[in-house]
Each structure stands twice: as structure tokens, then as C-alpha cells.
Structure 1
Amino acid sequence: MTGILGRLRSIGRGTVVDSPEGSPRRTARDERKRTYNLFEAAAVYVAACVEDDQDRIDEAAAWVSPEALSFGVNELACRAVVALARERGESPQVVARTLLGLPVA
């Protein structure tokens, strides 16, 4: 069993959690102790949404509270719009409206 449910079921049993090749194996106890930064959760969540990866969306959403995730996604959106605006030489408002397919006001 993979994904968050498999990891949750393995916690407390001392079982080994799957890890990418070449990385050290972690036990379920190590996985439970792992804390996630809200920005890390937001980055994974947004990237998973773009890739339509529901398992990864669910996993990232479980790392932090819904409020923290919302804050992180908002901060990511703000930073992305500012970066694109600088790159394009446009205002953040123009970039945000363009990304959403809205007419430029």
C-alpha cells in the first residue's frame, strides 16, 4: 500500500517507509517526526494541482492545517505574480488579470 494511508498504517509498527532510490531508508517513526514547512506544503500542493496528481495533493494537504496551506498558496501566488511582472516589465495587476484570462482594467 502506498501513499499517505499506507504511511499512516505503518506508523507505530516500526515498519520501513518507501524512500526514493539512493536515499537512506526511513522508519515510520522517522516519517512521523518529519515536520513540514507551510511553504514546502504549498509548493508541493500547487505543483501537484498543475500535474493533476490527486495522491500528492492529498499528501501535501495533510502536512499542515488548511489555514496554513491557504496562506502558503496565497504567498506562492503573490511571489509568482511579482516575479512574472518583473520579468515581463508589467504591473502585478496586469499579470494577475492576464493569468486569469480577465480583461486588463
Structure 2
Amino acid sequence: MFDTMRKYAARWRASTRAESVSARERRAHNLFEAAAVYVAACAEDDQDRIDEAAGWVSPEALSFGVNELACRAVIALARERDEPPGAVARDLLGLPAA
């Protein structure tokens, strides 16, 4: 009788662990999280991570997130350098000053 109870408890614990792992894997990703991972992976030339992040959200959402990240990054750098955002953006892209 105790052997049967022990087997049942072991099966129940195993199924609970499997459910929690699959729930974490299926967790919905935020579009900004996807954009941050995507851009960082591009900077590090990590194709596997790029593909993974690109699969988290729709292409339109990823594009919006990358655009928002770029805007925030240029604004932060402009404040840090005490320069206008346009000058910082041109400098980052290697373009001549306007």
C-alpha cells in the first residue's frame, strides 16, 4: 500500500515539475524585451539568439520595439554628450554633420 502511494506521489511531483517548465517556456514575451534581446544579439552577431528573439513577437511589433529602443538610445547618448539627438544619430551612423 505504501509503495503505491509513493509511486503516485512521485508521478504527481514529476508532472507538476513538467507543467511549471512548460509554462515558463510558453511565457509571453514583451515586445521591448524581444527588441532588447534582438538588438543585443545583432551587436554580438549571435544568429541563434536573433532568430529566437524574432520568433517571440510579430515582425511589426519587433520593428516597433527596435525603433523605440533606437530612439531611447539616441536620446540617452545625446543627454550624456550634451549634443542634439540629430547630431548623435548622424555620428552613430558615420554621416557628416548637417
What range is the shorter-chain TM-score in? 0.7 to 0.9
The total of aligned residue pairs comes to 82
Distance in 2 separating the partners of 1:95 and 1:29: 42
Instruction: Select which of 62, 65, 82 maps to 2:75.
Output: 82
Where in structure 2 are there 5+ consecutive unaligned residues? Answer: 1-14
Identical-pair percentage: 77
Q: Higher helix proportion, which one?
A: 2
Q: Rg bigger for which structure?
A: 2
User: Residue 35 of structure 2 corresponds to which residue in structure 1?
Assistant: 42
Query: What SS does structure 2 have at the residue aligned with 1:68?
Result: helix
Report the residue type matching 1:85 in the other structure: A
User: Residue 22 of structure 2 corresponds to which residue in structure 1?
Assistant: 28
Backbone CA RMSD of aligned residues? 1.7
After TM superposition, the runs of 4+ consecutive aligned structure 1 residues lying more than 6 A away are none
Where in structure 1 are there 5+ consecutive unaligned residues? Answer: 1-13, 18-25
